[in-house]
Structure 1
Amino acid sequence: MPNLILSRAFRFLQDAGTIRATVLSVATIFSLFISSSQAQESLLSQAREEKEVIFYSSLNIDGSQALATAFERRYPFLKVSLLRVGSEKLLSRLLLESKVKERVADVVCIAGFQAHYLKKNRVLGSLPSDELDHYPPQYIDPDKRWVTLFVSPFVWSFNTRQVPPERIPRKLDDLLHPFWKGKVGLDPEEYEWFANTVTRMGQGRGMGFMNKLAAQELQFRSGHTLMAQLIAAGEIPLGLAYGYRIEQMRERGAPIDWIGLAPVIALIQPVALLANPVHPATARLFVNFVLSEEGQKIIAATGRVPTRKGVTLKYPRLTETKLEPSEAKLGEETDYWVNVFRGTFGVR
């Protein structure tokens, strides 16, 4: 009997300990919730005083404006001042503003090479961590200076009326067949694709392929949208383009399709806070918004590939082939890759 009493007493103490632990856990969670709510209210209060966020973006105007409009709809007391220019011009502007210590922008969305260069020159600040748990590690800068908002896979697009099924390339080396001489289009500034492809293939094999590709008398045209339009029009039978753009044109009935030839390089588009932003609270709200599920659904609606886990793609086919995200660190050697690209293909 004494043993039975001791056993029951021990179980009671165990149960009591469990109850106490549960109560403490609930109390801790509640305390964290209150703390988080108070922090959010404080952030909103500061943002109301700031009134705006200045957003520099190389994302096309439709995508940039869609994010800005949705943010203003969520926070009607705040305004987004948008500047949309290409990545190279945006990089030059931000470096100049940093050099003369004239801070203008709060948030930037720019291509991977340029994002890395900005980080290296201490132009970028630390990201808020509110949404980062929802992103795969490969899309987050190791120092948390930027996170990839979306990726744009490079694909080989072709005119379905000009390219018979048996001539559709199945691997990169197929582009070296005599059939393709004078029929392949490439942007004259395709440096990031070039650098990543050579790196993934290995310097020897990669440069060997590029030298042989250069001998195919490529047709150079500036702009991926223009390239896609020329392919659909039949002026260039095949060329490198963004997958989402080709899918959009296919939806409209254009005689165009695409194939992913490994390695399928996906251009990354990071978003980042500037160091010492002019409107720090509103900037943090804006970054959290574009990285939120709502913000990523806006990106997905444009056809691009959002990087947040669990967001449904408009064009799932774009991820059926393994994607190789562009390595931003290769941006440290931008001058080298630009010179090698130009020397290989004879463009200036």
Structure 2
Amino acid sequence: MKYRSRVTAAGVAMATLALAGCGGAGGTGNSGDSAKIAMQTGSDRTKALTAGAKKEKHLLWYTTMIPDQLVEPLVKAFEAKYPYIKVDYYRGNSTDVAQKTVQEYKSRRYKVDLVDGTGTSSLLKEAGVLQPFKSPQLADYPADLKASDGYWGTELQYFMALAYNTKSVKPSEAPKTYEDLLDPRWKGKMAWSTSDTSGGPLFLGNLIDAWGKTKADAYIHKLAGQKIANLDSSGRAVIDQVVSGQQPIALEVFNDQVEVSKAKGAPVDWVPLNPVTAQLSRISLVKQPPHPNAAMLFLDFMFSEAGQKIIQAGGGIPGKPGVDAEVPKLKPEKGGFKAQYMDPDTTFKQTTQWSEIYKQNFVG
């Protein structure tokens, strides 16, 4: 199950409303039993989960992670620890995962157990497709990296930064602050993605959230005069243009992706602009999972040091405190930068507003 479909956020929203209008998931299923399993605590918890998982023998995970770097190593390690559980997965982006899950629940087909992604949890929580859970492995995660109501935990982090071509821009002259971006020397020499959930819109949303609308509006008005190039492409493609020298500077790109290119000898480096936009990939338990015991064991594994070190080895930025990224400076505690953790549900709801501000100031 390693295919993906192409859908739009609007399509997910329409399906979400349709599902909510039908009264949520409804139908038959084991939602009552799974709720007890998801919220159980105590010294015999793992023993009970293990006994249940041996009967279930299976687990289905809808994920946004890169298969060869992260998904398959995690599955291999989990199956080695629990050889009686077979893990299958489907891979897509956050919208794909949410759309697929919503469509299945509308058809009363309860196949998936776990879902993840940056926006997936917000979409599916609104649709009534998720349920809260408790994992002892989340005890040492800070409040920013787990839901106060138990609907998700963070398995991966992403930090957005400024990237620059080291042949075009001297390290000593590269912008170090948001104010530095207003220097006339950078007019027409910067670019970002037009993506609603990253690039320009997210850059502006981060400042609005950090500074307040009045200060952010004044800054945005000045920044608009810098003629930033709008690239209708992914953040990775924007970095590639910096690597090739087509763009001297890129804004709001993933710092770990810059490090990957840098490690391969590309003339590129990154600078954190404080506060740095922090994005979270969150994993959640669906409302009617067919394999709730196996799902809870997988969640425990994902949040544990062992699971997080697999993410580290695959080049991801682990969520767990104390587990560094493979390049330690990618995380704020070792990189010396301040991360702005915006509430994911609030971010989801404000994306449209931020996109409008972006279009009004930087498009056309």
Contact 2:209/2:342 (CA < 8 Å) preserved in 1? no
Maintained 8 Å contact 2:227/2:362 = no
Mapping of 1:292-307 within 5 angstroms?
292-307=304-319
The answer for the alignment partner of 1:64 in structure 2 is 71
What are the residue-to-residue correspondences of 1:77-226 with 2, within 5 Å?
Answer: 77-111=84-118, 113-189=119-195, 190=198, 191-219=201-229, 220-226=231-237
- 2:248 is matched with which residue: 228, 237, 244? 237
Alpha-carbon displacement from aligned partner over 1:194-249 (angstroms, at most 9, x marks no partner): 32222112112223333433333322141122222221111111113111111222
Q: 1:324 aligns with which of 340, 346, 350?
A: 340
Q: Does 1:333 align with 2:340?
A: no
- Greater radius of gyration (CA): 1
1:266 to 264, 271, 278: 278
Paired residue for 1:227, among 220, 238, 243?
238
Change in 2 beyond 3 A, CA 1:216/1:93: farther
Aligned counterpart, 2:16: none
Code of the aligned partner of 2:124: L
Q: After alignment, is 317-326 or 155-164 more displaced? A: 317-326
How far apart are 1:136 and its partner, in Å? Answer: 1.2
Gaps of at least 5 residues in structure 2 are 1-41
**Structure having the larger proportion of residues in helix:** 1
Q: Using the alignment, how far apart are the partners of 1:197 and 1:77 within structure 2?
A: 48
TM-score (norm 2): 0.79
> In the aligned structure 2, how far is the partner of 1:166 from the partner of 1:296?
35
TM-score (ref. length: structure 1): 0.83
| 2:359 matched residue in structure 1 | 342
Where 2:293 maps in the other structure, the secondary structure is helix
Q: CA deviation at 1:150?
A: 2.2
Name the SS for the 2:65 alignment partner.
coil
- State the percentage of identical aligned residues: 29
Distance in 1 separating the partners of 2:340 and 2:135: 25
Unpaired segments of 5 or more residues in structure 1?
1-34
RMSD of aligned alpha carbons: 2.0
TM-superposed CA distance for 1:166, in Å, is 4.7
Instruction: Mark the CA change 1:204 to 1:150 in structure 2 (over 3 Å): closer, same or farther.
Output: same
Q: Residue 25 of structure 2 aligns with which residue?
A: none
Per-residue deviation, residues 116-142 of structure 1 (Å, max 9, x unmatched):
232233221112322121211221111
Contact preservation (8 Å) 1:149, 1:271: yes
Number of equivalent positions: 311
Change over 3 Å in CA distance of 1:65–1:182 after alignment to 2: farther
Q: 1:166 to 1:128 in 2, by over 3 A?
A: closer
The 2-side partners of 1:339 and 1:78 are apart by 46
Give 2:57's match in structure 1, choosing from 26, 39, 51: 51
CA distance in 2, matches of 1:305, 1:188: 24
- Contact preservation (8 Å) 2:60, 2:114: yes
**How far, CA to CA, are the matches of 1:64 and 1:345 in structure 2?**
37
4+ runs deviating over 4 angstroms: none
**Further displaced range: 148-157 or 38-47:** 38-47
Paired AA for residue 334 in structure 1: T
